[in-house]
Every structure is written in C-alpha cells, then in structure tokens.
Chains A and B, each alone.
Chain A
Amino acid sequence: MPFVLSLAFMLFNLLFNQAAQAVPSFARQTGQSCVACHAGGQYPELTSYGRLFKLTGYTIGERSNPLAAMVVASQTTTQNNNDSSGQALSKTDGLPILASGSLFVAGKITDNVGGFAQFTYTPYDTAAANGTTNGHFSSDNFDLRYADRKVDDRSDLIWGVSLHNNPTVQDVWNSTPAWGYPYLSPGGLPNSPQIEGSLAQHVAGVGAYVYWNKSIYAELATYQTAKGPWGFLSMGNQTGNADHPLTHLNGNALYWRLAYTKEWDAHNIMVGAFGMDTKLFPLDSAAFTPITDTGSTRYQDVGFDAQYQYLLAPHTVTAQLRVVQENITDETGLAYAGPATLNSNKAKASYVYRATYGTSLAYTSVAGSADATAYTTSALNSPDSEMWTEELFWMPKQDLRVGVQFNHFTKYLGTDTNYDGAGRNASDNDTTYMYLWAAF
C-alpha cells in the first residue's frame, strides 16, 4: 500500500508540478503567472491579455503538459436548514466538505488550435436511498477552437471557430453567464433564463467569431442536443436519468453576440448584447425522457451586458452588469400555463489589492409573469426573487484562494415572507459560505 501511495504521489507530481510555479497548464504553456490572464489573480475573470489568449485559440506559448487539477473544499451554513416538518434540507449543511474536484485538459494543440476541457467530480451530489450521498462525475466546461490573427500596423483581425458545450462559455467577458459571478456559490436564485446556465453540458455548439481592431466583436453559433457522437460534451447528463436527465432541443438553437470594446490607460470597457432562440422538448416526469409529440417550449433570450476594468498594480477594480429578457411561448402546455416572461439582472463589483486581498459585492434578481404550471413551489406562482452577495477573499498564493461569501435573499418566489405557503421566508435561505479553492 505505501508503494502504491508513493507511486501515486510521484505520478501526481509528474503530471502537475513540472513548472516552477505549481499552476495549471495555461501558465505552464505561457510561462506566465495567473495575474497575466486573470484580473488581480481572481480567476476566472480575464484581463485584456487573457481575452486575447482565449480568442487566439489558447495558442500563445509552447505546447506542454495539458493536465491540471482543481479542488474546492467548502462549508455552507444556511439560515434555516429545516423544512416545515423539521427535516434537514441538506445533510452537509454546516459541515466542511470536499465539494468538488476537477481535472483539466487544456492547452495549445497546434499553431492555430487549442482547447479547454474540464471534468468534475462532485462527492455530495444527490441523496442515496441508504441515507448517504451519491457522487457524480461529469463533463464540465469545454471549448475547443481554431483561431487565426491577421495583424499589421493598420488593422488587427482575429477570427476563429469554436466547438463548446455551454452557451457563452466561449465568451471572453465575465459579464456573460458561463464565466460570470459568482465563481463559486452554494446556490442562487431558484429560476433564471435559459441562457444563464440551464443548457450547460446539455448542448453541443459550433460558433464563428471575429474581433476587429480590439474594438468590435461579433459571433454566431448554433447548438443542438449533445448526444450521439457529441455525448462526451454532456457526460453526466443522460436521457432517462432521474437526477441528471439530458435536456433535448427541438432542432437548432441560434446564438448571436455583438460587443464593443475600448482600452485607455489602465482602463478597459466592453458594452455588448447577445441573444439565443431555443426550443426545448418537455421531459416525461416519470421516465425522464423527452416528449416529442406535443411540440416544444420556445425561449427567446436577449441580453445586454457591460464590463469595466481598472488594472494597475497594486489595484484591480472590475465591474460587470447583465440584463436578460426572456419571452416564453409553450405550445405543449406542460411547462407553462400561458405566454410568459422571465427577466434577470446582475450587477457585481470587485476590488483586489496586490492580487492578494479581495472583496466583491453583487446584486442578482429575476422577475417574470406568475404561472401556476411553472412555479408550483411558490404560493404566489411567482418566480420573482432577489439576492445580495458579499464576499471577502484572500489569495496567499496565486493558485490558492480562501474566501467567505454571504448570500442574503430579500425576495424569494414572489415575496419575502411565507413564500411557499408553509411558513418559509426568503431570509431562511441566507447562507454563509466558506471555501478553499486550489489549483495544481
């Protein structure tokens, strides 16, 4: 056994500690520190250089060991962890747990092709019948891209194509959902528009983009259900799986993105818009398979976003803003009782000092039409919810972050008190979340 452990330790070191700095594979590839690509070191927020690194297909640097790993340990304490009958809602509440572990395969493949693939294991995923908890291994964010850059002293054109599994995971600004705040969380609002994560690791998408003169960004992408040869992109979500059923799209979902960017001195801004038109088949609540003979539910999302960054050592100031408006029409009658809207808002600001000490403040809300079919856990049949998040974090090393996050719910499913008709208040869902986030 000691031999096996020693061998495992040697293998771990061989795989993850080849460079002087024990950081993930992109840092090995470029020989640069995390702060080169991540604003104030607060991964995953990207600097201007980090955005160019991604847009040019992760190809700056030299091909190296593409493996990296990440672990998150956390403790979530909920204001009221008991339901109306006194039963615990979460068995791990108040306990320190190893929340997740991820393996990355990420880096340059050729002069024009590079990728980022993450696979994640969650030890405490779902409750098992014997009172324990089932773990879950799944595909996480994936982005494989080809990119080229034609540049001279008059113009600068970056263009590329991307294969990925989460709408906006290919985006380089942290105001869009996939890489938006919070970067770690014990859970947020109960509802959100489709583009805000519902399709992550359920779809396979191909998009083409251009970025001209570090000024105008434009992108078009199309998505389909990640199944068949694309099943590896949705690994962990399966048709018929009660805990993680695969979402099935009816045909293609089109995504578009426009953004304008500008840099001056140590400042940079982005203002943009994006949208997606998705049709989903309803799910059979017993078999967890798609129902394809009753039509589908259509979600038309349009978002507006903006980002500001001030990056000049020792100070890092970043802010992101996002508004998404969703129109829903349901020809199945199974998901919604009638035409509906669901709009979300997100605003967040951060300050980091010496890439070591940081704080963030965020506001998140959703509001939409009441619907007796869609929001059955709300006494008011309402999705309206809002929360504030304050966070303090410390990065003693560039690949280690320790933080505490306070989540305050001021409205939940339509009201602040007795939202479920059983006496539960919005503030009962408040959480104090402590975490340790390490990358190797």
Chain B
Amino acid sequence: MKTIRSNSRLSWIALSIFVLTACSSIDGSRSVNNPGMSGRTLAMQVCSACHGVTGDSTSPNFPKLNGQQKDYLIAQLDDFKGHVRSDAKAQEHMWGFTRLTTAQISEIADYFSGQAPMRGKSISSPALARGETIYRSGLPDMGVVQCSSCHGPSGEGNGTFPRLAGQHANYLVQQIEVFQQTEQRPRGGPMKVVTHGLKEADTEAVAQYLESMGSPSNAGIH
C-alpha cells in the first residue's frame, strides 16, 4: 500500500508539471519564431543567455551590445537572418534567428542601444599608446586609415559604424581578421580596405586600446 501511495504521489507531482504549462505567458517565452513576441522579451529571454541582460556580456566570445548603435544592430540582425554575415561565430550562434520580424529586430536594437554604454576596461599595456596612434592617426605608410574618422573620436560609432569603445578586445581582433582575410562580412567592405595593412601586433594594440577606452583608470589615454 505504501508503494501505491508513493506512486500516486509521484503521479500528482508529475501531473502538476503539465498543469503549470497553463501558467505560461508570452512575456516568458523563448521562442524565436513567434511574431507576437516583443523584441524586449526576446532580448531578455534569449539574447541575454550569451550577451547578458543589459548586453554587457561577460565572455569575450560574445560582443557587448549595450549602447551599441541602433542602425548597426539592425544591419547585423538583418545579415544574420539572411545568412549574409557568415563568419564562424555568426554561423555557430546567430544563424538560427531567421524568423525575426522587422519590428522585432528594431525593438531588439532599441533595447540594447538604449542601455548604458559598455564601459572601458582598465588595462595596463605598453601597446595602448600604439593603439591610440592607430585609432586617431592611422598608419599612412601602411595604408591604414584612422579608425576615428568613422567610429568617432570617442569610439562611440555612428549609424551603421559600430561603437567600439569598451568592446572585448578578443572580439575586435577576431572581427578585424574576418575583414582582412575573408568576404564573410559583406557590409564590412570598407574595413577590408582600411585594415589590409594592419599587422597582427597592431591589430592587438588597437583592440586593447579600444577595450580600455572610457575606463577611468585609462583616462590619460584619449
């Protein structure tokens, strides 16, 4: 009798799992193909798993999105959706988002661009000065144009030119290599031209400088 009671109890507990499904609401959904979901819900329930709730991602595997330019975010989400952006990370993590609506993409971009901008990381490295030179003046002898002409004097970005200040250095290095060596980011055509002459050490230097940009402890470096 004891066993029968126990099994009955377990049945009730299990049954209650499915009764709970009646409690589900669209605000808690993690579907990526439901046009009824808001971009905000998608950002908080799905995007946040890698990028963090505010877009301030912990892991350099995933770019920070907080304070990113809205037009840039829309362009990238469009390219992920259409499988136009095809670098390895994009394929591995972002190619599943093919059903996002135009409205959802706009709302996701609104959500992350409206967050407090990514903060610079305190970095102590002799490469920072070289990185700053590249960012502000370029390397004319090597055909490298100053980054600030498009990305802004504070690395804040402009429209489809992304914010770079405070971004993970590792992510920046990887993307510069994608621009230099592949055609996997067609919208980045201009980047292929302006980074063509950038050597590995200089790529690292400018990426570190950008990651540190805006950090109070790196305030001496502009």
Contact = CB atoms under 8 A, between A and B. Distances in A.
How many residues of A sit at the interface, in one of the four size bands? 35 or more
A36 B174 CA distance: 17
A32 B21 contact: no
A161 B20 contact: yes
A229 B29 CA distance: 31
Scoring A206, A251, A263 by chain B CB atoms within 10 A of each residue's CB, the highest score goes to A206
B93 A144 contact: no
B58 interface: yes
Interface string A16-60: 000000000000001111011000000000001100110010011
B60 interface: yes
A110 B53 contact: no
Given A146-B18, A263-B59, A312-B60, A60 B28 contact: no
A136 interface: no
Contacts, number: 129
Contacts of B23: 112, 148
B93 A36 contact: yes
A35 B20 CA distance: 32
Contacts of B54: 153
A204 interface: yes
Contacts of A287: none
A204 B14 CA distance: 10
A67 B24 CA distance: 25
Contact of B20 (A60, A146, A230, A311): A146
A62 B44 contact: no
A152 interface: yes
B28 A311 contact: no
B160 interface: no
A108 B29 CA distance: 11
B61 interface: yes
B44 A152 contact: yes
Contact of B53 (A32, A152, A264, A265): A152
A266 interface: yes
A42 B14 CA distance: 32
Interface in B89-130: 89, 91-93, 95-99
Scoring B16, B33, B49, B170 by chain A CB atoms within 10 A of each residue's CB, the highest score goes to B49
A145 B13 CA distance: 12
B50 A49 contact: yes
A110 B45 contact: no
B1 interface: no
B131 to A, nearest CB: 19
Contacts of A61: 30-32, 96
Interface stretch (B3-11, B144-152, B198-206): B3-11
Contacts of B99: 62
B26 interface: yes
Interface string B69-102: 0000000000000000000110111011111000
A251 B6 contact: yes
B53 A311 contact: no
Interface of B: 2-3, 6-7, 10-11, 13-14, 16-18, 20-21, 23-24, 26, 28-33, 44-46, 48-50, 53-54, 58-61, 88-89, 91-93, 95-99, 170, 174
7 contacts: A56-B49, A60-B32, A60-B45, A263-B59, A265-B58, A311-B59, A312-B59
The 5 A-B residue pairs whose C-beta atoms are closest, nearest first, are A31-B96, A62-B33, A33-B92, A111-B29, A112-B24
Interface of A: 30-33, 35-36, 48-49, 52-53, 56, 59-63, 108, 110-113, 144-146, 148-153, 156, 161, 163, 204, 206, 222, 224-225, 227-230, 251-252, 263-266, 311-313
Given A112-B24, A163-B14, 19 more contacts: A32-B92, A32-B93, A33-B91, A33-B92, A49-B50, A52-B49, A53-B49, A56-B45, A110-B24, A111-B29, A112-B23, A113-B17, A146-B17, A146-B21, A222-B10, A224-B3, A224-B6, A313-B88, A313-B89
